[in-house]
Amino acid sequence: MNLQQVYSRTRKAIDDYHMIAPHDKIAVGISGGKDSLTLLYALHGLQRFYPVPFELCAVTIDLGFANLDLGKIKELCASLAVDYHVISTDIAKIVFDDRRETNPCSLCAKMRKGALNDAMKAAGCNKVAYAHHRDDVVDTMMMSLLYEGRFHTFRPVTYLDRTGITVIRPLIYMQEADIIGFVHKYNVPVVKSPCPADGNTKREYVRKLLQKINQETPGVRERMFTAIQGGGLEGWKH
């Protein structure tokens, strides 16, 4: 996938769900992975020609793993002239050493979001862009069905009334395969996650299950995404 295609699909999601208003200041949550870096490229490119003016910055919540190297991401943000903020935390120590969580992802995500919200407020941002793509939308719906017994997934746009922050997800029309292709084509400097739980989660199990189903019955993921859009879920009608 080339850069223009990334712009096109990102812009369609933004337009369909009215994600950006004039003079928004948007923080891109940068994990260092392929998805968040693709989102950074997409929003930076759109910023130059999108009819609605908006500001952009990038934020990484450093969980405290010793082997996280953000040097290439700092270089990338500098080359794009995007302000980059790295927030140091002790989340890894709290989750893995102090609490020794059997389900570390839940507590880690909660603490990471809290730190990100604080960093955004300090930077004067009113919106945060998460890099969830179409496969994430479907995976989350499947997890909700299997583990909660309900038809549910996250929304394209979510207003967090406790913090006054709006979450947007501009990559919801992109498949993971599209992102992988883009990252390889443009040599995007992806940083491997140092988290010991990476790849060993319920989400990863559901993702592999859906991959198997989709191989056996091609088009399943696309039909599931269509069902989400037309299923009456709050926030998905456009």
**Domain residue ranges of the chain, discontinuous segments joined by +:** 3-230
How large is the C-alpha radius of gyration of the chain?
18
Least confident of 102-106, 124-128, 189-193: 102-106
Percentage of residues of the chain with pLDDT beyond 70: 99
Q: What is the per-residue pLDDT for 200?
A: 66
The tens digit of pLDDT for each residue in 13-62 reads 999 999 999 999 999 999 889 999 999 999 999 999 999 999 999 999 98
Give the per-residue pLDDT at 137: 97
Q: Which residues pair with 127 in a beta bridge?
A: 26, 166
Find the Cα–Cα–Cα–Cα dihedral 214, 220, 224, 230, rounded to 10°.
Answer: 160
In CATH terms, the fold of domain 3-230 is: Rossmann fold (3.40.50)
Q: Are 23 and 124 in contact (CB under 8 A)?
A: no
pLDDT digits (tens, 9 = 90+) for 121-179: 888 999 999 999 999 999 999 999 999 999 999 999 999 888 889 999 999 999 999 99
Q: Residue 225 above 80 pLDDT?
A: yes
Dihedral, CA of residue 34, residue 154, residue 161 and residue 159, to nearest 10:
70
